[in-house]
Amino acid sequence: MLIVENIHSYYDKSHVLEGVSLRVNPGELVTLLGRNGAGKTTTLRSILGIICPRQGQIHFNGQALVPENRGIFRLLTVEENLRIAVRKTSRWQLEDVYGMFPRLKERRRNAGHALSGGEQQMLAIARALLNDPKLLILDEPTEGLAPVIVDELVKILRKVKDDGLPVLLVEQNLMVCDKLADRHYVLEQGRVVYEGSAAAFRADPTIKNRYLALSA
Ligand SMILES: Nc1ncnc2c1ncn2[C@@H]1O[C@H](COP(=O)(O)OP(=O)(O)OP(=O)(O)O)[C@@H](O)[C@H]1O
Ligand SMILES: [Mg+2]
């Protein structure tokens, strides 16, 4: 599905990713964890081709799609924002995403700028789904959201996963990761320092203390 092999990415002269390898298999939800500045967003940018690694390879079967900056048109309504993303060939149509996100249906006539942070995040994910992605990539979707909204997002992401869409999730909220992930990677200073199944990660609290304590 997605295979990242030994990529080295730079910002100008600064060597940020020093040989990152990871993979997302069909149907998997994989998290990329790590403290602030570890290189998580840079890894996603490299996968999306926003920056070009100077070494290494990325194999990807299909088109990735990220809600960049949530990418919402502030002056359009929720429904207008959704309609421009609809594709006749997608397995997710307008009614499907309204079924998944009842909150968006309730607010379908509201303007994009009138949504809460959590609603904007839902709209961004809904738009990504309408676009028929082969892989959903999310960079800290729950950041700054109230706990009830985080729970709603977790349910939605679980549905996405159950529908068979693979997900690569950067997330600092370990509870969210624990509820959703099949596997985890931990990045530290641009390197993968841990890789393991959700069960192995859960069973070994020293990993969290060693690599994540400051950001948990
Ligand atoms: N546009 C940029 N130009 C120069 N350096 C950058 C740029 N973006 C990030 N960096 C640096 O690259 C390193 C990795 O940053 P990155 O944004 O990938 O971290 P992150 O793991 O996503 O962190 P966070 O959890 O804070 O989002 C950091 O040292 C950061 O300062
Ligand atoms: Mg980041």
Q: How far is residue 176's CA from residue 170's CA, in Å, rounded to a whole number?
A: 11
Q: What is the token pair recorded at 8?
A: 């080295």
Q: How many residues does the chain have?
A: 216
Q: How far is residue 68's CA from residue 62's CA, in Å, rounded to a whole number?
A: 18
Taking the centre of ligand 1 as the mean of its atom positions, its distance from the CA of residue 41, in whole angstroms, is: 7
Say what percent of the chain tops pLDDT 70: 94
Instruction: Identify the CA nearest to 205 among candidates 167, 171, 178.
Output: 178
Domains of the chain by start residue, with CATH: 1-63+134-146+156-216 (3.40.50.300), 71-133 (no CATH)
Mean pLDDT for 74-97 is: 94
Q: What is the token pair recorded at 164?
A: 């068979």
Contact 120 CB / ligand 1 (< 6 Å): no
pLDDT band at 70 (very low <50, low <70, confident <90, very high): low
Query: Quick one: DSSP state of residue 209?
Result: I
Instruction: Choose the residue to mutate in 10, 11, 35 for probing ligand 1, maximizing ligand atoms within 8 Å of C-beta.
Output: 11
pLDDT in tens, 164-176: 999 999 999 999 9
Q: What is the pLDDT of residue 120?
A: 92
**Nearest CA owner, ligand 1 atom 24:** 36
Instruction: Identify the CA nearest to 34 among candidates 47, 24, 43, 26.
Output: 43
Ligand nearest the Cα of residue 187 is 1
Q: For residue 134, give Cα distances in angstroms to 25, 46, 96, 124, 176.
A: 11, 17, 17, 16, 22
Mean pLDDT for 112-130 is: 92
Q: What is the pLDDT of residue 211?
A: 82
- Among the residue ranges 60-74, 127-141, 144-158, 194-208, the one predicted with the least confidence is 60-74
Mean pLDDT for 181-186 is: 97
Rg (CA), the chain: 17
Contact 10 CB / ligand 1 (< 6 Å): no
Across the chain, mean pLDDT equals: 92
Cβ(7)–Cβ(186) below 8 Å: no
Q: What is the pLDDT of residue 216?
A: 42
Q: How far is residue 53's CA from residue 55's CA, in Å, rounded to a whole number?
A: 5
Instruction: Choose the residue to mutate in 41, 69, 172 for probing ligand 1, maximizing ligand atoms within 8 Å of C-beta.
Output: 41
SS3 32: strand
Taking the centre of ligand 1 as the mean of its atom positions, its distance from the CA of residue 192, in whole angstroms, is: 15
